[in-house]
Chains A and B, each alone.
Chain A
Amino acid sequence: MNLKWKRLAALLAVMTLVAAACGRDDSSSSSDDSGSSDTTDSGGDEASGAFIDPSIDCADYEGTAGIDGDTIKIGTIRPADGPYAIYDQVTTGLDAWVTSVNSEGGIKAGDGNTYKVELIKENDSYDPGKTPALAQKLVEQDGVFAIVGTIGTENNLAIRDYLNDACVPNIALATGSTNWGDADQYPWYISGLPSYALEANYWADYIADTKPEAKIALLYQDDDFGTAYQKALTKAVERSNNDNGTTLEIVGEQGYNPLSGTTTEAAVTSLSQTGADVFIVGIGGTPCPQTLTFIPESWAPETYISVTCAGNTAMSLAGGKDVGVIQAQATLDPADPADADQEAVKEFKTKGAAAGLDEGQLDGGITSVGWGFGSFFGMLVENTDKVERADIMNTAFSLDQPAFGLVRPDIEIKTDGAADPWAIEGFRIAQRNADGGWDELGPVKNRNGESNELAG
């Protein structure tokens, strides 16, 4: 605890220095009724300044929009109906986090004030064609301070230009698409998940370590999400063979189109005939556990699954075929008996239950992700010396602290502007056991600043 405070203090000191160095234009935050002191306006050299300087980057910068007295208004967009309505559970988690924070009085921000949070939810039915108007509504009509935990790669892409041009933070995107690595061009975006490409590299590294002659069969979802795995894995295999002398080989590769209305059964059957001894399932949602049920008895590959389907809800759909699958794991699993004693898990379960989450939601691995996005936002507010849009993003892009929320304790949270825009860049390798938990095969390794380079 003591250490935590020391680090926080150090971080604040760094933040103050950084802010002091940038000579921010403060005209837009003049109506600061919260009484925070403005000691950071000492002016200075622009060159070594903070990552975002709204006086240069923003045409109409409204830094404190959405902050009304002691309330911060945030918005999120998710599918509440239709075939992807399952992701609404993520937002339920975010909502529960908000309820929980407010019931405790609010978030104690770096500026000394305590803020309550108001969450406005919009429904785009997962259709990226509907997302832009909703983002516009949140920003222009509801006047939110930031967008938090919005679902879907394509949906977040659809509003990327708008939010960046309007200088509105989009925090903890519910996707690990490699697109979010471009903080140089889009500095108002920060992902709430690790990069999918980085995840694929952890698989590849572990395979190279343990099975240097592995024959790999790859099944990937035919969209931004799945092709991120496919590209990164292909590149990682090549690199490992060149640098480490392994003879990894991708012997079979199949794309799966979730809009096609078929199952992965034919593809899995085909891949089972390739003689592969490693099977990588780079798909999400229910088709992922279903794929495990299609693996024929005659084929017993070492199977890797996407972190997006490693939660208890998805795994329980595999009809027992989940035992033995391997994942690269970045968060604590509330359903894992081995993680039950972790402070963060206990806290999540107590507070989550108090905020109205039921047992299935607490253990399912979907709702907890949304809770994590809330914690991400809360962590940024706590660490920001001044609750203003640009400052929040500058905090987000200069993090250096231990894990927060349900992120695994050994993972370091480090960012550094466009050079390292990914907050979570660590995984451990874990294997599903028969008790619904995960056995550690390889400890947490941090690869800070490598996500972009490894994207392929």
Chain B
Amino acid sequence: MRSTTPNWLRWGGGALIAVVLIALPFQFEAFRVNQFITWMCIAVAAAGLNLLTGYNGQISVGHGALYGLGAYAAAILVTRTTVPMLLTIVIAAVICFVAGVAIGLPALRIKGLYLALVTLAVAVLFPALVEQFSSLTGGGRGLALVVPQEGCPRGRPECPVRWESPFGGLENDQWRYFLALAITVVAFVLVANLVKSRVGRSLVAIRDNDIAAESSGINVSRTKIITFGVSAAIAGVGGGMLALLNGNPRVNPTSFTLLVSIYLLVAVVVGGASTVIGPAIGALVYGVFTDVIGPELPGRFENATPVILGVLLIIQMLVAPNGIVGQFKEIQAKMASRRSGGAPEVHNGATPVERDTP
């Protein structure tokens, strides 16, 4: 697909988004900034899921568990070891990679809906696993992210991890915001490059027809397993960010129930599966809905938030089954073809593959 947007618009748009992203933490109060950070964590985890479900066609309803595993891994490392805090997120990613490969192994034999159900079981089992290994995880009461440090209130030896900006001038939450933003940008650039590469094309080839892909020389098993691992690792990064950066001094098993897995999937599909930026848009929409619009609904409707969310979800799937970004691209393609007088490009049921990312 040829890029249809003029260059100046792309650069201009990009610059505008960058300015907005940088200005945000200075425009909003700390609690909002903390919510923004949470949205970024969801966006990163959804980007990981998108790699697997969107590009590779393996539906996972269990990424909430990997998200949680990343969060717990980072939290345990921070509280029990002296590993620098940001490095714990990297280690969390490695741990999640291994876990992802382990879950992905059966996926070689189990396909489609069976796989979805196996991953669903993983999602359900995760909070129970946390409770089972309570000596490590703190169990149902949660794990406090406290470390021994100087200057804790009331002379306590330990208190919650703090993120003082080394550059000065930045508030605690603003500094955390920029750290999260940096990680998010890196994660998305990584995914963008990955899907543009040969590996990315083989992911799509396997999704569209694995037997044909195999015969064209792609090692389907290896690719699928590694995709599972990488997808899990990215979800783990999102989890690690959540544990360390969103301003909550604890991690709890109830934050990683099946619903989280479902919401990650929702973020991917609403934003646009197999588009690079889709999961970010999806996470943004979800965040705005639950954290901004939901609480502002008049009292009577506040309890109706799930109903509204569910109905909107259905409407969106009926109106734009390819997600927001997918729909946008479709319109763009249609307009372009009308301009050039050609027939509109037909996407054979599958969502369009993005090739023109910056």
The reply, when asked whether chain A contacts chain B directly with Cβ atoms under 8 A, is: yes
**Which residues in A have some Cβ–Cβ distance to B below 8 Å?**
57, 80-82, 85, 88, 122-123, 126-129, 131-134, 136-137, 140-141, 153-154, 157-158, 161-162, 164-165, 184-185, 222-224, 227, 257, 259-261
A123 touches B252 (CB 8 A): no
Q: CA–CA, A165 to B160, complex, Å?
A: 11
Q: CA–CA, A395 to B355, complex, Å?
A: 66
Q: CA–CA, A157 to B180, complex, Å?
A: 24
B247 touches A223 (CB 8 A): no
Q: Which residue of B lies closest to A59 (CB)?
A: B153
A122 touches B131 (CB 8 A): no
Give, as a whole number of angstroms, the nearest-CB distance from A128 to chain B: 4
**A to B CB contacts below 8 Å, 30 in the list:** A57-B153, A80-B303, A88-B303, A122-B295, A123-B294, A123-B295, A123-B302, A127-B252, A128-B248, A128-B250, A128-B255, A129-B242, A129-B246, A132-B34, A132-B247, A132-B248, A133-B31, A133-B34, A136-B34, A140-B29, A140-B30, A141-B31, A153-B141, A154-B142, A165-B153, A185-B154, A222-B140, A259-B131, A259-B253, A260-B128
Give, as a whole number of angstroms, the nearest-CB distance from A255 to chain B: 9
Q: Which of B127-156 contact A (CB under 8 A)?
A: 127-128, 131, 139-142, 144, 153-154, 156
**Interface status of B305 (Cβ within 8 A of chain A):** yes
Q: Which residue of B lies closest to A179 (CB)?
A: B141
**Interface status of B106 (Cβ within 8 A of chain A):** no
**Interface status of B35 (Cβ within 8 A of chain A):** yes
A222 touches B31 (CB 8 A): no
Q: Which residue of B lies closest to A134 (CB)?
A: B31
B154 touches A259 (CB 8 A): no
Give, as a whole number of angstroms, the nearest-CB distance from A33 to chain B: 25
B140 / chain A contacts, CB cutoff of 8 Å: 154, 222-224, 257, 259
Q: How many A-B residue pairs have CB under 8 A?
A: 112
Q: CA–CA, A102 to B52, complex, Å?
A: 56
If over half of A's interface residues share one DSSP class (helix, strand or loop), that class is named, otherwise mixed; here it is: helix
Give, as a whole number of angstroms, the nearest-CB distance from B44 to chain A: 16
Give, as a whole number of angstroms, the nearest-CB distance from A228 to chain B: 10
Top 10 nearest A-B pairs (CB, nearest first) are: A223-B140, A136-B31, A129-B255, A224-B141, A137-B31, A128-B252, A132-B248, A133-B34, A133-B31, A259-B127
Which of B32, B142, B291, B306 is close to A81, meaning CB atoms less than 8 Å apart?
A: B306
Q: CA–CA, A131 to B306, complex, Å?
A: 18
Q: Give 1 or 0 for each of B291-305: 1 = CB within 8 Å of chain A CB.
A: 100110000001101
Give, as a whole number of angstroms, the nearest-CB distance from A182 to chain B: 10
8 further A-B pairs in the complex, CB-CB below 8 A; given A128-B255, A227-B141, A261-B124: A81-B305, A123-B294, A128-B250, A137-B31, A137-B32, A157-B250, A161-B153, A257-B140
Give, as a whole number of angstroms, the nearest-CB distance from B70 to chain A: 14
